[in-house]
Chain A
Amino acid sequence: MLKILIPTLMLIPTAWFAPPKWLWPLTLMGSLLIAVTSFSWFKSTSEVGWTTLNSYMATDPLSTPLLALTCWLLPLMILASQHHTHNEPLNRQRTYLTLLISLQFFLILAFSATELIMFYVMFEATLLPTLMIITRWGNQAERLNAGMYFLFYTLASSLPLLVALLILQNTSGTLSLLTLQYMSPMSLTTHADKLWWVGCLLAFLVKMPLYGVHLWLPKAHVEAPIAGSMILAAVLLKLGGFGMMRMMLVLEPLTKEMLYPFIVFALWGIVMAGSICLRQTDLKSLIAYSSVSHMGLVVAGILVQTPWGFAGALILMIAHGLTSSALFCLANTNYERIHSRSILLARGLHMVLPLMATWWFFASMANLALPPLPNLMGELMIITSLIGWSYWTLALTGTGMLITASYSMYMFITTQRGPLPNHLVALDPSHTREHLIMALHLLPLILLILNPQLISGWVN
């Protein structure tokens, strides 16, 4: 664990003391080396579930894929941010890198935490660098509003979580996941217990986000700079899913009666958020609502509490992390050329940027869950476990998959196909850097087809 945490912390002095010319190559190299070292977590060295165990942190088949995704994303964020920050003062660039690195540090601690209070503190700690990234490096005036929505939605919903965790500590005597997993189900019969159940999950439902409390997401994702959008879509949403999966341990017998309204919201959110995507003119907003839709499926998969539901949720979280981040990078390549997020201003791009069109194609096909990519595998596992819970969910999940395919195709066809408009006369060719980012997003996704048991948790 320390062989990844200490180099991550040491990237911060690297960012501050690197010579100006070599700042970005050095941090890129450091972060890629850390990402490679993070693959060592996949080697599970013990017979029990928890590996790399120390007093505060451990990894298990649930947190390992998310940790690897976090470590993989930092070099991608560095690559993506290099261009739009190149005219900024040097110290501002160093600060930006420090914020990204500190986000990775807090996220590693959050995913590997064995004690729930440590997880809570790290969960909150990730809010601060993200807020700074959105409000200080966003491009439009709306970034301030977006930052406020982001901060206060998450803060307000996580205060009940703190109270709920303290109650849990009082009743069960421990908040360590290692002990809590063996706790017998508590007797949860009063209305106060039902409120406690909601308190435990509300923070994560807002973070995921569940449709209904999702208003912060389109604002935050759209107004954030590219690295902010990437880390938000790829990892910070998954903090919510991860938290839900951990809390399910202790929420035992109440869940099967309390989950009804939340599954309904989640399933309805798949359809509604997908439908809104079809009406978006802002490209980043389209991708943001697409995230809401996919995460609705993940929430439903977690709440039904079956092995396939959990496995499908984890697979979909990892696959969606890579896909959504890739789509935001693609939208950013458009934005850096025409300085607009409009889906209509840059059309017919496959005539001028055919290689980038190939990446657009792969990313859009991944978004609509094309087999054999893990996106489909996760969605199928969730839908199957939902059918086991109730046949009627198929109507909503099926419609959701149909709408997902529609808006993914709509996004691809509108940006790439069709006639090249007359006003596009001077677009820069695609940079090698942009091709590298897309390759580093989509090649791991394709490689995961060959080894899905890495990301499927405890189910082989």
Chain B
Amino acid sequence: MRRFLRPGHDPVRERLKRDLFQFNKTVEHGFPHQPSALGYSPFLRLMAIGTRSGAIKLYGAPGVEFMGLHEENNTVMQIHFIPDQCQLVTLLDDNSLHLWSLKQHSGASELREEHRFTLKGPPGSPPSATQITAVLAHSSREVLYLGTESGNIFVVELPSFKALEDRTITSEAVLQRVPEDYCNRRSCELVEALREHPKNPDQILIGYSRGLIVLWDLQNNKATHHFLGSQQLENLYWQRDGSKFISCHYDGSYTQWPVSSDNRQPEPLENLVPYGPFPCKAISKIYWQTTKNGLPYIIFQGGMPRASYGDRHSISVVHGSQQTAFDFTSRVIDFFIIFSSEPAAEFDDPSAMVVLAEEELVVIDLKTAGWPAVHPPYLASLHCSAITCSHHVSNIPLKLWERIISAGSKQNIHYSAMPWPIDGGTNIAPDPPQRDLLLTGHEDGTVRFWDASGVCLHLLYKLSTVRVFLTDADPNDNMNTLGEDEWPPLRKVGTFDPYSDDPRLGIQKIYLCKYSGYLAVAGTAGQVLVMELNDEDAEHVVDHAEADLLQDQEGYRWKGHEKLRTRDGPVRFEAGFQPFVLVQCQPPAVVTSLALHSEWKLVAFGTSHGFGLFDHQQKRLVFVKCTLHPSDQLALEGPLSRVKSLKKSLRQSFRRIRRSRVSSRKRRGVSGSASEVQEANAKFDQDALQEMELAPVQRKIEARSAEDSFTGFVRTLYFADTFLRDSSRHCPSLWAGTNGGTVYAFCLRVPPAERRMDEPVRAEQAKEIQLMHRAPVVGILVLDGRSTPLPEPLEVAHDLSKSPDMQGSHQLLVVSEEQFKVFTLPKVSSKLKLKLTALEGCRVRKVTVANFGSCKTDDYSENDLAVLTNLGDIQIISLPFLKLQIRYPCIRKEDVSGIASCVFTKYGQGFYLISPSEFERFSLSTKWLVEPRCIVDTPEVTSNNHVHNKPGKENAARKS
């Protein structure tokens, strides 16, 4: 006993701690925040995404992913893979170039930055002279061609980034043989596009922004062809055989040009404004893909009629008489087409289109009729509706897992059956140790079920609670019902939809029992739904009850939102989780805590006014308890006058981000370039920051009193079978902890199974503990006679846990934001405590019991508390002696949203939002670690460049 009282002086314990605990941030799930650039290597079959914060992420086959971060944290403007190499070059908005390589290191590939380089012009030249606008990674793999604002094209050697000054292509040299009148009108042009001839590596096509296009011979260092375009140029694309190329323009037109040896200054073959005749937006990128049947695919971004559809983010695919304008809900950053890259192949035969929009990745199957979307295995848009809460369930039984997948597959029938086309690299990570589910609740009333077992966070199933309620927006009205002859032929794609029909639908709490398949979700307007998994569609009535949490309190007026109206009569539910009970709290305040006991068939819920217990077997409200302090007038008036809740601030900050993005988009002028947008954005952020800093920083020091506001706010609910009244008989109990430091314990009488429907469940208040430091109670836990936390309901029944020790004396652990306290039961006397805030000035934000296994021996594991504080630190605290084991800095303390979103797993891992759309996964355990481990092979034979179509797969085969 004595040695437990002295932390940190026991060498045995210290050694054990090293075998148990280790902190790693392992992988980022979800969609990169603010993507800014896209690149693809048909050779490696890897895709690269750059972001505004300087991150670069590579994705291949599911599980193959790499991440790098530019030190400068500047926006990534362009990404170019070096042909047939495991290398890529990035261009940042500070005009620096960075060379990255994938190299093998101890059995796995790693992404590393090799070199950096900034182009320097002759002394005295303006910065624009070397401002890079276009990059061409030449197929020789030896040089990069860098087009600049001045119109000059600089050449640098790879991988050294040595400038080859004698090979610079100056605009003067290019303009030499251009007709005088054309030349005069168009001097001082920036290089818009550089394209290598598909058959002849000695020829490159240079496109200048004002319309002039030149075919340059690198051997003889002279222009061989001049194409005198009359419109401002946006982009260029070579046709496969090199006989023609296509240019697209600012006015929404594209032009086909012939390349032949007899005419050095050809006229355009065809000039077309696809969505004319009225003024159109620019076409910023175009592909011309040949097929066996002769009809090409013409795929271009933009070009919509300015007046009526100028606000759409579209990419049009034209194939013969078929034409679809894919309509994205967020700005298109870039896109590419996956087509046959075999040099011997005669045609392009495009198979898929990959579009990086600002908020999601959309892949379209171009081979299947109707061009359906492909379900991405990664890069899921977590934020397709803002995340309002999350819940993690470890070690899902196979049966439940399969049922959820089957329910989800019925929802995904509109997706293409095409295998994921970006399949480079080999995943060599061991199979995930267990099946884990991450459930996210969203603002639009949906719950999404994610497979969180491995590196790829993959959507399994989506549950909507909207059907139960009557809302303003009718779910039947379809935005996509367009007539046959609708022009342009827009088709909405993607899942990102930030607009919520009704904020009251928002999900606030989720509890899933993995053994019984019971699911409870609770929302913003005091609604609590209990659901059951059904493998078939069904139509039934949802039983409805109301819980008046104010009871006898009088004279209070709720100024917040109204409760949700329910649908009368039976409701049709699709296969999956189907609600059978709805409890609505009155007043309809946000549900702040939720607990479900699947064995006793009870659900408990709490709001800022009190808590209640509902018997979902008999569908009867057992009791309600009002927790309001009589003087707490504020709590009754509703959310309008409330202090911001954490969740709320989380959501608001996301909204702010979104709003700022929208406003910056609006501000963007017609000719506004991306850098201007960023500048505007940066300025916006700065202004906001300065505003915050100017606020007077002063803090009141006052002891908390019982009369403080929001003391009744129920923070935590807990079911336990323990000794509440006397030490001879244990009984079911319900525990509730409030913001004001009060713990209520209710003794429950649940009738035995055979009389469960006949006798009512009874509850009686047995104890009330008032913590005098009055800090909010964030966690309640009962430890059994062996000081082990009580198992989850049904865990013992499924033989997955030892039955709790009911012989020895139980202990009660109460975690407040400031202290951890252990009390004895049934007679409450204080046994132990750990003061956190008084000594360190930090407060508990999240706390969970986690099981830590030793990495050295399989037979040792222990339960500890994983704690996240308001400073973003993670602490591990031992049970039952409450000794601090270890502490890791995890989240920046300024990142309030990140801290509020953190969720721990039962085996010492965790997730938190690093942006509205990305979860960072971390691990505290040496044993349970989920991180990417993959190999991308460099081809050994370099003479035969284009043979390796799928190096990853080949290598995998070679290995086995």
Whether A and B are associated in the same complex: the answer reads: no
